[in-house]
Amino acid sequence: MRDLKEYAYPSLLLNLSTTSLNKAQRRWRIAYAAIYSARAMLSLIKEIVPGRIDPKSSDASLSVSYTALESGDGAKVNSMPLSYVPDIDQERLVEIMKGKDLQDIRTLGGVEGIAASLRTNATKGIHGNEQEVNRRRELFGSNTYHKPPPKGLLFFVYDAFKDTTILILLACAILSLGFGIKEHGLQEGWYEGGSISIAVFLVIVVSALSNFRQERQFDKLSKISNNIKVEVLRDSRRQHISIFDVVVGDVVFLKIGDQIPADGLFLDGHSLQVDESSMTGESDHLEVDHKDNPFLFSGTKIVDGFAQMMVVSVGMSTTWGQTMSSINQDSSERTPLQVRLDTLTSTIGKLGLTVAALVLIVLLVRYFTGNTKKDGKVEYNGSKTPVDSIVSSVVRVVSVAVTIVVVAIPEGLPLAVTLTLAYSMKRMMSDQAMVRKLSACETMGSATVICTDKTGTLTLNEMKVTKFWLGQESIHEDSTQMISSDVLDLLYQGTGLNTTGSVCVSDSGPTPEFSGSPTEKALLSWTVLNLGMDMESMKQKYDVLRVETFNSAKKRSGVLVRRKSDNTVHVHWKGAAEMVLAMCSHYYTSTGSVELMDSTAQNRIQAIIQGMAASSLRCIAFAHKVSSNSSGLEEDGLTLMGIVGLKDPCRPGVSKAVETCKLAGVTIKMITGDNVFTAKAIAFECGILDQNDKDEEDAVVEGVQFRNYTEEERMQKVEKIRVMARSSPSDKLLMVKCLRLKGHVVAVTGDGTNDAPALKEADIGLSMGIQGTEVAKESSDIVILDDNFTSVATVLKWGRCVYNNIQKFIQFQLTVNVAALVINFIAAVSAGDVPLTAVQLLWVNLIMDTLGALALATERPTNELLKRKPVGRTEPLITNVMWRNLLVQSLYQIAVLLILQFKGMSIFNVRKEVKDTLIFNSFVLCQVFNEFNAREMEKKNVFKGIHRNRLFIGIIAFTIVLQVIMVEFLKKFADTVRLNGWQWGTCIAIASLSWPIGFFTKFIPVSETPFLSYFKNPRSLFKGSRSLSTKKP
């Protein structure tokens, strides 16, 4: 047996089936394999017995999960068979996390012991193949939580039935149906009551379908916004996966601003602090480490440091999952515009109710005084009239009055907002903007100032080192060999140890793969490829003692390391060049000598930094010091190692987007952490600064300068500022507050955790989808998916489009409301009858509410929208232009239809039924033609771009087809008679006059004083009109 120990076990297993062995030899080898397996299992059990595990040997113990057997052709066999059963059950892991049970973790051999049980290698992660990931998902569950089922169509149908007017109409329909059948029999008597019932049912179904569609749309967008990308380690590679694909055993990388995707245990990291307020309500940040508190909980956020975490519970096994499963996201968020429209709807509804009540009183008085006739006979003859007939007539009168209320109440207004918001949200997704809060869609249209970041938003965020200065010497790419080996070694330490990035060997070629932020990747790439650093061997020579992660306030990061060979402690800092320079008292030369940093040398190096910055380069400096203090990072008396200049080119199209925003009356302000020279260079390149700003002192300021202004100075200068350099997140917040106090509607872009206060303070917070932290995204209203300023300009256009579409629909709807109310009221008071029946009015209601909303609320944005000034906060929703258009069209419709009502029979020589059908047909066709007029409120050409809006054309065609069916085929249902070709031509001619009337109406000038203000202050009628443009929006 002693000799057999010399066998390599994997080779032994793989050679068991080879034909070169005889039967006896094969049996011996199978027996040996069985004995070896048993002994291996026993030794593994001994290793994980409490108190006997040695953390230092964790790498060896963990490597069991990566034992891969190689066959002759080099293929690897997966180490996790489908029969694998974990050494620890899921319930125990959940209990450990819930109870924060450190003792139980120690019993299992510490975090390393749990990792071994879960077959996770701390340095390589898990296997990323589908088989292993699926197996883990089967054993421990998926990282999803059960949500309450979305509301179904029947819920919205039931909800529609709660409308009081609908219930009254249904009651009227049922009574009318009963009396009709009793009076005329089933065959003829069901028409009136049945027609109203069907019409009401159609209104309910269409309303329910619209609301159901919106709910589905919101649910889809909610799923997209919850699909966070997480960085994990699989097959020794860092890769980004969906939060829903995280499985137990995954090693997850966490940095400032990340939301923890699942419950897990701390593996490695530095200075990690977690905000658990979402779980506990406590605002104090909790420190997490390997020894005293290794617990990390799903849903909490990283506020400082970085770490690697091993996932131990996912989905419904986490406290966060259980909490979220009981919460149903509310899609009934009311936006400011919806609130304003609710008020408008209520006002119009009250007016309609008043008119309906007057019509009801007039009709009832006329009926009971014997002034109404049916088939040439007086309807009411006192006690001689049967009770059934009286009740039937009263029900008919009540149903007409209630229908007037239904038509008067513009339910289409809230529906139009919902449709246009849902439509714009969907379209904005394809334009690289994900809306998190509905109100942002409309508010963006009112934005007067956009405060934007530089890096990644105005620029590509694709960094590359293009300049390197060592002391006062410029080192070219081909002359790096002249640098002293000692200085090179220090540069290796400064980039390789003071980093959150990593270097991996690539499968695709000799060039390694770099991960991390764009700055980190650029620096690592430069050090490895240009200076020849070997990342792995360099890391093995040092122990990291302390890390200070980069933050926006200090603009630098530091690391404290101990060299293993001589136990010396070294401090390394890297960050904004002028800030690191201020910490230095000496500098290195290329030969390795150290020179004193006197004022002359400091001025020269500052000039070098300014020169690079003026060329749009981002300047990063490295500094070093041998320290005697192993507990903290010293910040003075350092030696400058070198300065690199990173080029980050402007995004294509960004200068055009800036110009577009300026033409739209929106001011762009760049707020950046870069120095003033880099900031100015980029601002000129993007068009934020132009020649007019060159001599303007207040156009460019630094953050410290801005925060040191007095409050009066800030308020005085804030509008002139175009660029704020070397700013901190608190400076950005201060600027947003000042601008809002000045009356501006402010949009702010942000990507960091510290940007959250400014994003929340702004009217519209725009976070970055690629570089943005989860905290920033959660604080924002809209996520810019491609981090591109051009997408911000597109969002501005969509915001204006939403507001414009709503105004178009209000103009269209109010035209119908005014015309229908006036016609019915005058006809009822004068003739004792209404020209439009309950069914006909419900049909008109369906046209203007649902089909009209669909047609007008889904117009796409045009470039003309960006040639207007922003809509002010207090500007009236119904502008004077809208009042002009709707009053002219309403007056025309009222005049024509009243002529038809009182003189139609004699003019066209037709009977009453034909006259009533002509009125109904003309009224509906007037709305169809006026729908074209509503497309443009000020432009005379209402047909421009109509071929691109197929939905509009389709709805118009659908409405006309339905109207033909109503008139020609549903005669008893709609209470109409067939019209001949001449009569149809007359109706079309009457309706088509809406177009020339609309064209010439737009020549009528309008005052800039809001129309309704005349009624609030009648004296203003006799005064000169004041200009709205003098008001702050």
Determine contact, residues 891/998, Cβ cutoff 8 Å: no
Q: Which residues contact 953 (CB under 8 A, 6 or more apart)?
A: 946, 947
932, amino acid identity: F
Which residue is it, tokens 């249902």? 973
**Contact status, residue 706 vs residue 714, Cβ threshold 8 Å:** yes
66/114 Cα distance (integer angstroms): 16
* 211 and 157 Cβ atoms separated by less than 8 Å: no
User: Residue 651 in contact with residue 682, Cβ under 8 Å?
Assistant: no
**Cα–Cα distance for residue pair 866/444, rounded to 1 Å:** 12
Backbone angles phi, psi at 878, to 5 degrees: -100, 105
Residue 767 bridge partners (DSSP): 750, 783
573, β-bridge pairs: 558, 623
Q: Pick the catalytic residue: 263, 453, 763, 787?
A: 453
CA–CA separation, 995 vs 989, rounded Å? 11
* Residue 453 annotated among the catalytic residues of the structure: yes
> Which residues, other chains included, contact 513 with Cβ-Cβ below 8 Å and sequence gap of 6+?
237, 503, 504, 505, 506
Number of other CB atoms surrounding residue 460 within 10 Å: 17
Q: Tell me the C-alpha to C-alpha distance, in Å, between residue 583 and each of 306, 556, 646, 678, 704.
A: 25, 11, 21, 21, 18
Q: Phi then psi for 121, rounded to 5 degrees?
A: -95, 120
Token pair 């965020």 in the structure block, residue: 461
Dig out the tokens for 559 from the structure.
Answer: 């690391």
**In contact, 724 and 731? CB cutoff 8 Å:** yes
Q: What is the chain's length?
A: 1033
CB-neighbour burial class of residue 46 (10 A; exposed 0-12, middle 13-18, buried 19+): exposed
Q: DSSP assignment of 178-236, as one string?
A: HHHHHHH-HHHHTHHHHHHHHHHHHHHHHHHHHHHHHHHHHHHHHHHHH--EEEEEETT
* Residue 244 DSSP label: G
DSSP calls for 659-712: HHHHHTT-EEEEE-SS-HHHHHHHHHHHTSS-GGGTT-GGGEEEHHHHHHS-HH
Phi, psi of 646 (to 5 degrees): -105, 130
Q: 544 Cβ partners below 8 Å, 6+ apart?
A: 270, 497, 559, 560, 561
Residue that is written with structure tokens 């039937």 in the block? 392
Give DSSP secondary structure letters for 839-863. HHHHHHHHIIIIIHHHHHTTPPP-G
Annotate 341-359 with DSSP letters as a single string: HHHHHHHHHHHHHHHHHHH
528 contacts: CB under 8 Å, gap ≥ 6: 503, 512, 514, 535
- Distant-in-sequence, close-in-space partners of 182: CB < 8 Å, separation ≥ 6: 189, 388
CB 232 within 8 A of CB 125: yes
Structure-block tokens of residue 790:
């051009």
Helices (H) and strands (E) in the chain, counts: 39, 28
Give the residue numbers marked as catalytic.
453
